[in-house]
Structure 1
């Protein structure tokens, strides 16, 4: 049996703990030839950090998709793993990629909300109209095979100027409980995204908030 030092065990536990709080999703974007996605990426093997979204240009393709958020890690582009790419190589790849761009994304999971004596959860129904097949917010979380990674479907970002922002009720941190009566409890992130995409141009959203 190979002995493992206390220091090594601590490092392994820290890595496992970090992984427990990360979710993943696949983002598909379409762009015309000669246009950009409208996102800034930092990091790379020469920059001492995993590639991550550091900025989303307002009005850009990536921002209007409501699938990405600042701080998201980009693991792969069209199936090409970025783990050993330099920063300039990542930028070049994103510039020269075709019209269909598929990003494998890793993100920090939202914290778990626990209702206690000092916290009372309330609900409100909000009716929104889509623009460009989105309601103007980013969702994270959802059910996962690993219970440590399971979360409610949480709205983590409300895009400035989008439908949700103009309506004014929904705030980052709110939980999305249902869409047109379809309950999201027990749905994965991908399933929740699919429900939002497939619902009509107008939808009633049940929101839970603190």
Structure 2
């Protein structure tokens, strides 16, 4: 597996995933996250075991290991950002030898609806299909997988749909768009800063058009199109047919 488990009944915190070695199975499976608490190994409860006892069970678990983990439902990625609106789009990913490169959490929890959360992307593996596609973000919510509605599904159901997809998956994704309430009250040139992500572009296509300004004809640079869920689309500042006066790149 090659992940580090710390904690135990003889320590100040329970068995916890503290490190995932890049390139190894525990990292590539997209099923584990650092900080999650380990509760069962192959159906053996480990919460009350010492650190060494947990490690011994893991070492002797065999070639296939079933792990059960607990995670915090109050993580920021489960919270919808303030001053934002919602948009949806479809994003297609092509599976690599390990999967689609994204980790899901949340889902319906029947015994206690207060513990239900939307199916949410909580991690994107660097170098995986989701990372290379470039538009998905931690905190995006999955509404459909290959046309199957997972809005009220359990995490196990959503994960099964992903695991059973052998080649290409189509995800219907809900994402947040930052809303600037006073934007429309402003006049004159506006400086826009966009955070540049290395794996993708801004998502803006520009065009040059001749437009009449009074009695003169001037060539103007206009926004021709915006890619759904791109950096530009996740802010309402930029819109089609608007004229960018100046664009500053902010490294990331």
Residue correspondence of structure 1 range 114-129 to structure 2 within 5 A? 114=80, 118-129=83-94
Return the structure number with greater relative CO, CA threshold 8 A, min gap 6. Answer: 1
Q: Secondary structure at the match of 2:84?
A: coil
Structure 2 distance, partners of 1:97, 1:114, is 39
Which of residues 150, 173, 186 in structure 2 aligns to 1:184? 150
The equivalent residue for 2:124 is 158
Closer, same or farther in 2 for the Cα pair 1:164/1:114, shift >3 Å? closer
Report Cα offsets for 1:62-112 as digits up to 9, x if no partner: 111111111111101112211221112212221222111111211112555
Alignment pair present for 1:93 and 2:93? no
Which of residues 147, 153, 157 in structure 1 aligns to 2:113? 147
* Structure 2 unaligned regions, length at least 5: 177-252
Contact 1:66 1:136 in 2 (8 A): yes
* Structure 1 unaligned regions, length at least 5: 1-36
The equivalent residue for 2:138 is 172
Number of residue pairs matched by the alignment:
173
Query: How many Å apart are 1:114 and its aligned residue?
Result: 4.9
Q: Secondary structure at the match of 2:26?
A: helix
Residue correspondence of structure 1 range 67-86 to structure 2 within 5 A? 67-86=31-50
Q: Secondary structure at the match of 1:160?
A: coil
Query: How many Å apart are 1:180 and its aligned residue?
Result: 1.6
Contact 2:5 2:18 in 1 (8 A): yes
TM-score of the aligned structures, taking structure 2 as reference length: 0.65
Report Cα offsets for 1:97-150 as digits up to 9, x if no partner: 21111112111125554587x210112221101123521010000111111011
Q: Secondary structure at the match of 1:101?
A: coil
Instruction: Give the root-mean-square deviation of aligned CA atoms.
Output: 1.6
Query: How many Å apart are 1:199 and its aligned residue?
Result: 2.5
Structure 2 distance, partners of 1:115, 1:73, is 26
Which of residues 38, 45, 55 in structure 1 aligns to 2:19? 55
TM-score of the aligned structures, taking structure 1 as reference length: 0.77
